[in-house]
């Protein structure tokens, strides 16, 4: 999982990427390709 300053570029890597907010952090998740996970601290 990558830790990124801005998740805008991470979201457009794949059309299945979704942005979710959990426990005050922002995550990019992708069910079809889990390698594209990212989080913003």
What does residue 8 show for φ and ψ, rounded to 5 degrees? -60, -45
Q: Residue 19 region, left (φ>0) first, then alpha (ψ -120 to 50), else beta?
A: beta
The reported pTM is 0.75
Mean pLDDT of the chain: 90
Half-sphere exposure of 41 (CA within 13 A, CB side): 5
Confidence of residue 1 (pLDDT cuts 50, 70, 90): confident
Confidence of residue 8 (pLDDT cuts 50, 70, 90): confident
User: How many domains are contained in the chain?
Assistant: 1
Taking every pair of Cα atoms in the chain, the longest distance, rounded to a whole number of angstroms, is: 25
- Structural domain including 9 reads 2-40
Task: Give me the pLDDT at residue 29, please.
Answer: 93
């Amino acid at each position: 999982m990558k830790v990124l300053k801005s998740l805008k570029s991470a979201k457009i890597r794949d059309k299945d990427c979704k942005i979710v907010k959990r426990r005050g952090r922002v995550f990019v998740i992708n069910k079809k390709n889990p390698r594209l996970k990212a989080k913003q601290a």
